[in-house]
A and B are shown apart, each in its own frame.
Chain A
Amino acid sequence: QLQLQESGPGLVKPSETLSLTCTVSGGSISSSGYYWGWIRQPPGKGLEWIGSIYSSGNTYYNPSFKSRVTITVDTSKNQFSLKLSSVTAADTTVYYCARHPDSGSLDYWGRGTLVTVSS
């Protein structure tokens, strides 16, 4: 059974860079035909896609974040990572990692991790 687990600091200071890692177990991040994505959800609000990466390194970003976001993959560790720079209080949300084919259906999700931006 494929499992995804987010990890990283739960508290980030304003203007700094948020860094999260998603570790994939029970399967290979190099599996053909799948992307690995980051989605966020402010408390009590809806889902927002941040971006996705293919195992080859090709990335797709939500234009709303494009200037601040970087997603990378480390196939040797079966992990992919999110960096979001110049964070503000508006970036205080639950961050999820997930897998999807190119059709975009997110079939496996991590449990999510709450990141709070505060000094």
Chain B
Amino acid sequence: QSALTQPASVSGSPGQSITISCTGTSSDVGGYNYVSWYQQHPGKAPKLMIYDVSNRPSGVSNRFSGSKSGNTASLTISGLQAEDEADYYCSSYTSSNTLVVFGGGTKLTVL
């Protein structure tokens, strides 16, 4: 069982917006502004899409945005495109013995 909870799957049509949630505790998501989001296509390494809750690395589309409220972080993808179909993982810094904890992943299907 993963430390952070994500929905197993979400879907949306091209052009629509979707949001993926990531729920943790006050020891991780709620306690620090250190939530990251990763996109992973089949057979590929994960790619950092959002760091420190809402910051985008250079080169990542501004269609991707992140936010946090309490113990839940969210990734929003606007203007869905076929290429966005992938698995998405959240992670957080944690004050527990584990430095980094991941969510179980969410499969995004673009209909």
Binding site for B on A (CB under 8 A): 35, 37, 46-49, 51-52, 60, 62-63, 96, 100, 102-107, 109-112
Report how many residues on chain B are interfacial, defined by Cβ distance under 8 Å. Answer: 25
Q: Looking at A37, A96, A109, which has the most chain B CB atoms within 10 Å of its CB? A: A109
Chain A hits for B48, CB < 8 A: 105-107
User: Within residues 68 to 106 of chain B, which ones have a CB less than 8 A from any CB in chain A?
Assistant: 89, 91-93, 97-105
Give the distance to chain B from A38, nearest Cβ to Cβ, in Å.
11
B102 contacts A46, C-beta separation under 8 Å: yes
A49 contacts B103, C-beta separation under 8 Å: no
Instruction: Specify the main secondary structure of chain A where it touches its partner.
Output: loop
> How many A-B contacts are there with CB distance less than 8 Å?
66
User: With A49-B98, A109-B45 as given contacts, are A104 and B38 in contact (CB-CB < 8 Å)?
Assistant: no
**Bound CA–CA A48/B103 (angstroms):** 9
Chain A hits for B62, CB < 8 A: none
**Bound CA–CA A9/B106 (angstroms):** 31
**Nearest 5 A-B pairs (CB), nearest first?**
A105-B51, A104-B93, A105-B36, A109-B45, A103-B34
Give the distance to chain B from A56, nearest Cβ to Cβ, in Å.
15
Contact partner, B45, options A48, A102, A110, Cβ 8 Å: A110
Q: Looking at A47, A49, A103, A109, which has the most chain B CB atoms within 10 Å of its CB? A: A47
Chain A hits for B97, CB < 8 A: 62-63
